[in-house]
Amino acid sequence: MLVLMLVTVTILRLCLLSRAQPLCRSRMVRTGKVFHDGQKIQGDQLYFSFGTTRLIKHPCKKNIALYLGRQIFLTRDNFESSLLPCSIPTSMQVGIPEVTSAHFAGSVLLLVVNRKVYVYDYEANSWNASTGIEHPVSHISGDNCCYSENSFCMDISNSVFAYLHGAQISQTNIYFSNTRGYRFQKFAHERQAELVGSLGGVFYFHSLSQVGLLLIDQRKAMFSYSDHPLNRSFGLPFDYNGTLDILIAPGQKGILIFWFEKSLLVSRNAGQLVDPVRVREGQHILYPSIFDANITIHSIAANENELAVLTRESNLYYGSLGILSSSLIKFADQDIWSEEAVLVFTDVGLLEILTPLPDSTFPAFDFQKCPMNIQEILMDPQLHIDVCKVKLLQGEFANKMYTIDMNSKLELTALMIPRPGTSPVPLVMVSNPHSLGLQAVIYEDGYTYDGNTKHRLNISLRQQHHWGRADPNFTSSIKRSTISTITLDIANKEISCVDLKPLTALISVGCDLEKKIVIQNEISACYNGILDPVALQDNYSYVIEREAYDPNFRGQEASEDLKVHYQYEKLGCPLLAYYDTPWKPVVELWREGTFQEVVEAEYVLLEVNGLFTYTYSLTADTALCNSQPQNWTSIAEMAGDQGLFAWDRETYVSCHDPDNEAPLTWPKVPYQILGGPTDNKVIFDQRNGIYIFFISIVDPYYSYCHLEATFSVYVYGAFPLSIIPAELTIVLLTVATLLSVWLAYMIPKQLHTEQGLRLKDFWVHLYRRCRKFCACFQGRC
């Protein structure tokens, strides 16, 4: 009995001690005060216009962050040093230095100061005013791609919108920049003039490949989208109480967080569905929303998978941005709130309360940090948190970027090891199901050393169009490149699975930059000895006669001959073609140095120097065109300043397309498209020489890439053209033939007349004299 009492007392003491444990222990950051006592704030000191504080972390550079409050601080070491408040040079002439919005765009910081956008390059410490914005703006929005440094990922970081929050959406001006905010241009939303309400925000939802406009009308809000198929309707409306601040969670998963002092909402599909965040205790829902919980939000923080809320009641709430629903739990009470405090996630499961502290002696502010380990807090038995059901969830595709070109597919694998006796439910989702389709298979794949079952997931990804399971009204346009994220998570995951991050990859349904086209050159002019490769490399040049080319590509003779320097390094030895045989190149597709296939798609050719001494074997009618086909002349007229070589997959319109309404006005014009459903070929004129062709794959359904190349052809076998006109030659041959026939008839007839006998005797006499003369001559020899 005594032992039992001692155990009970010990347990009670441990419980009291655990309750007394604070959420975090504060520490002070104070550096550089001795060596920088001469520092002063230069320029106009910036301040944030809203009553509550904000903290914006750079999604890719974890140590860079911006604090927004009565003072503004930019850190490059995660606030591990004292900082001077941010200021803008007086030369920028901003007037009132009030900041209403901020955004990190790659390596620069964008600020809206007094209704204008300014760019601060913190690496070069330089300021610039954005150009192109002609009307006042209050907010900017954008996103960052952290997967890789390729051009596609950089385009995401470079895209920025600027707009005036609260303006009438049908009349307001929206600006877009693809230069990280240095230059803007007006953005035209297709249905903007028809929309009713005020503007709550403009966002580029890269995870959905849509631009979304938030409409606010009569305390309801909904999103309008820019492209098919979402442009035919709106997102579901949701309550809009107060002025909601909208946070885009990092990772391009389409997670949006809407918050105000009395409201907290989350969307997992770029605003199509918006749900309130619930408050629960253990497995029980205490309140269906923040409003019902009667708490006042002061600051929020979010990363790819976690959400934390600091309230004015000095309470801290924590939750996960689950794949199905989001909820918060309340941690133990502690006096942690202050007017200048903000929340920030420093890493997965590591939360921090940051508070700037002024110094009465120095202008630089110190920082108070109160770090928390979420995993340790969740182990408190008073929270009634279940243990995580999954021990391991891993896949090689996590935090990587892949490309699926047209007609391609991608295979991914993942491994899940659950705890014994549990049944976790893995769930694979794509953020853009209109473009990317998936199929997943799970099976047991052996056991671990301690007897746990290993589950393997095989995930197949293809364009939604090619699965053949979706209605055309659901899929996005196949001609438009899009992106999507794929996420593998546990549907019934406990909040205690802090370190078990979802596996996410970014999928570009677009151009595979590793692809290129190569022209097959098995029989070249050098191989047959017609051209010397040594001579071609030695500054070889040739002359195109003025009758054979047009510098304006209109088929008209030039005024002078053209001397062309042959670029052997780029073109190699020309392939060989006989002038009198219809010809077309064999086009090969290569990827990463490996042959893929022979291209059968439609393509076009153009001689880059303006040679027009070739035509095509088919005409518009023999190619069975339903409408007038395009040609280089019509493309040049349509392209304008874009240049002559603008015929590509984006400008091509097939004459076999039933939706092409251009009438077939000139059926006898040459059909200039090769490949595809026709057997069209090039026919060369009677001229030997080098042709340098530009080739472009124009079939919009073959690849998202602009597959282009330049190659050379040597045409041989043509005899020189006769100096005498062909018509005169025909006349002379006809006359000579008729004269021969007439002579063959008249000469025998005339020999039987008296005059003919005399002529015959004359020739006989002449023959005898010549014979006698020759005999005498031979005798003297």
Angle at 78 between CA 75 and CA 80, to 5 degrees: 95
Compute the average pLDDT of residues 600-610: 96
Strand locations in 275-382 (E): 275-276, 278-281, 284-287, 297-302, 306-311, 316-321, 326-330, 342-347, 350-357, 366-373
- Is the predicted pLDDT of residue 766 greater than 90, yes or no? no
Is residue 11 pLDDT above 60, yes or no?
Answer: no
Q: What is the pLDDT of residue 1?
A: 40
pLDDT at 66 over 90: yes
Q: Report how far residue 82's alpha carbon sits from residue 363's, in angstroms, rounded to the nearest whole number.
A: 10
DSSP per-residue codes, 551-575: TTSSS---SS-EEEE--HHHH-SPE
pLDDT band at 756 (very low <50, low <70, confident <90, very high): low
Mean pLDDT in residue range 599-610: 96
pLDDT beyond 80 at 749: no
Both tokens assigned to 335: 């006096």
Query: Which residues are within 8 A (CB) of 745 and not within 5 positions of it... i.e. 6 or more apart?
Result: none
Rounded CA-CA distance 68/344 in Å is: 13
Tell me the mean pLDDT in the region 324-328: 84
Give the mean model confidence (pLDDT) for residues 236-240. Answer: 94
Q: For 147-160, what is the mean pLDDT?
A: 84
Cα 167 from Cα 190, distance rounded (Å): 18
pLDDT of residue 734: 86
Contacts (Cβ under 8 Å, ≥6 apart) of 634: none
Question: Are the beta carbons of 476 and 699 closer than 8 angstroms?
Answer: no
The 10s digit of each residue's pLDDT in 289-315 is: 999 999 999 999 999 999 999 999 999
- Averaged pLDDT for residues 168-175: 95
Average pLDDT of the chain, as a whole number: 89
> Is residue 781 predicted with pLDDT exceeding 70?
no
Residue 354 predicted with pLDDT over 50: yes
Helix (H, G, I), strand (E, B), or coil: what is residue 229? Answer: coil
Give 462-474 pLDDT, tens digit per residue: 999 888 888 888 9
Strands ordered across the beta sheet of 594-598: 515-519, 587-591, 594-598
> Can you tell me the mean pLDDT for 265-286?
91
Report the SS3 class of residue 772.
helix
What average pLDDT does range 427-436 have in this prediction?
A: 95
Output the CA torsion 325→328→329→332 (10° steps).
160
Which residue matches tokens 């492209």? Answer: 227
The answer to whether residue 227 scores a pLDDT higher than 60 is: yes
For the chain, report the end-to-end CA distance as a whole number of angstroms: 162
Is the confidence at residue 404, as pLDDT, over 90?
yes
Are residues 101 and 66 in contact, defined by beta-carbon separation less than 8 angstroms? Answer: no
* Token pair listed for 132: 């192109």
The residues, ordered by sequence, that sit 6+ positions from 670 with a Cβ below 8 Å of its Cβ are 615, 616, 618, 619, 631
Q: Is the pLDDT of residue 35 over 80?
A: no
- To which H or E segment does residue 198 belong? strand 198-205
% of the chain residues with pLDDT over 70? 91
Task: Encode 35-49: b = buried (16+ Cβ within 10 Å), e = exposed.
Answer: eeeeeeeeebbbbbe
pLDDT at 543: 95
Tokens of 341: 């405090």
Whether pLDDT at 10 is above 50: no
Tell me what the mean pLDDT of segment 195-204 comes to. Answer: 95
Question: What distances in angstroms separate CA 363 from CA 221, 566, 605, 608, 684, one per listed residue?
Answer: 44, 67, 68, 65, 80
Nearest to 500 by CA among 348, 636, 275, 385: 348
Is the pLDDT at 675 greater than 90? The verdict is: yes
Residue 762 has pLDDT above 80, yes or no: no
Contact 394, 452 (CB under 8 A): no
> Parallel, antiparallel, or unpaired for β 326-330 and 278-281?
parallel
Q: Which whole-number Å values give the CA distances from 236 to 194, 204, 215, 266, 484, in the listed order?
A: 18, 18, 11, 13, 21
More confident residue, 2 or 178: 178
Neighbours of 721 (CB within 10 A): 9
Residue 722: band (very low, low, confident or very high) from pLDDT cuts 50, 70, 90: low
Over the stretch 200-213, which tens digit does the pLDDT of each residue have? Answer: 999 999 999 999 99
Judged by average pLDDT, the poorest of 497-506, 519-528, 734-743 is 734-743
- Of 177-181, 490-494, 755-759, the poorest mean pLDDT is in 755-759
| Strands of 350-357's sheet in order across | 27-29, 366-373, 350-357, 342-347
pTM of the model: 0.84
pLDDT at 12: 42
Write down the pLDDT at residue 3.
Answer: 39
pLDDT at 410 over 50: yes
**pLDDT of 613-649, one tens digit each?**
999 999 999 999 999 999 999 998 887 766 678 899 9
| Contacts with 720 (C-beta within 8 Å, 6 or more apart), sequence order | none
Give the pLDDT confidence score for residue 638 in this predicted structure. Answer: 84
Predicted confidence at residue 642, as pLDDT, reads 65
* CA–CA dist 605, 524 (Å, integer): 19
Percent of the chain with pLDDT over 90: 70
| Cβ-contact 138, 165 below 8 angstroms | yes
Question: Residue 725 pLDDT > 70, yes or no?
Answer: no
Q: 604 or 774: whose pLDDT is higher?
A: 604
Mean per-residue pLDDT, 270-299: 91
